């Protein structure tokens, strides 16, 4: 078995959700879940089919984001993985809808951080073992940082 990390290629501030699903209709169901939950969100979705022609299936409402999703899906190339790249919204806006898609098995990450995907390859194929999502923790937050966190959440409208 070969084990390696592959970097997700995206603009620094772009959000991504990486997950695993199990059926060819995943790309269409994810598209519907996103547009019905966050109609103003721009996104691209790609899904790595794991049998038959083993193609990267794709959809989206923004060509640039769909191209980024296709490129990363082809580079990672692991069975049943999906990639959602988004603008005009955040993973928190659609994450529950994505998790409710019946064929979604798991979410590996939802982030705008730099991401590396840990991929294992064997004679059978390729699979995601996990992801590296951002940097190592530097310490424990102080009272001052707790206050900053709480103020930020209220400022951007996520807490009242």
Report the pLDDT averaged over residues 48-54: 93
What would the CATH number be for the domain defined by 2-155? 3.40.1520.10
Tell me how many helices (H) and strands (E) the chain has: 4, 8
* Band of pLDDT at residue 157, cut at 50, 70 and 90: confident
Note the pLDDT of residue 1.
94
Interaxial angle between packed helices 91-99 and 26-37, expressed in degrees from 0 to 180 and rounded to the nearest 10:
130
Task: Work out the number of other CB atoms within 10 angstroms of the CB of residue 9.
Answer: 10
- Rg for the chain (alpha carbons), in Å? 17
Note the pLDDT of residue 69.
98
Closest alpha carbon to 77 in 17, 134, 8, 10: 8
pLDDT tens-place string over residues 69-112 = 999 999 999 999 999 999 999 999 999 999 999 999 999 999 99
Q: Where are the alpha helices (DSSP H) in 15-159?
A: 26-37, 63-76, 91-99, 143-155
pLDDT tens-place string over residues 109-145 = 999 999 999 999 999 999 999 999 988 999 999 999 9
Closest alpha carbon to 82 in 7, 28, 35, 2: 28
User: Contacts by 68-73 with C-beta closer than 8 Å and gap 24+?
Assistant: 68/9, 68/10, 68/14, 68/44, 69/44, 69/45, 70/44, 70/46, 71/9, 72/8, 72/9, 72/10, 72/46, 73/46, 73/47, 73/48
> Helix or strand or coil: residue 136?
coil
CA 120 to chain CA mean position, Å: 19
Decide if pLDDT at 62 tops 90.
yes
């Amino acid at each position: 078995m070969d084990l390696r990390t592959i970097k997700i290629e995206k603009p620094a501030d772009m959000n991504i959700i990486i997950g695993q699903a199990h059926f060819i209709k995943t790309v269409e169901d994810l598209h519907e879940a996103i547009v019905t939950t966050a109609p103003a969100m721009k996104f691209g979705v790609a899904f790595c089919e794991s049998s038959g022609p083993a193609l990267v299936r794709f959809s989206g409402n923004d060509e640039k984001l769909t191209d980024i999703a296709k490129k990363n899906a082809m580079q990672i190339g692991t069975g049943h993985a999906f990639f959602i790249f988004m603008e005009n919204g955040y993973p928190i806006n659609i994450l529950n809808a994505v998790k409710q898609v019946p064929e979604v098995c798991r979410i590996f990450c939802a982030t705008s951080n730099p991401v590396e995907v840990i991929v294992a390859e064997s004679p059978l194929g390729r699979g995601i073992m996990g992801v590296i999502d951002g940097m190592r923790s530097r310490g424990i937050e102080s009272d001052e940082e707790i206050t900053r966190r709480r103020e930020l959440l209220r400022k951007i409208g996520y807490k009242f």
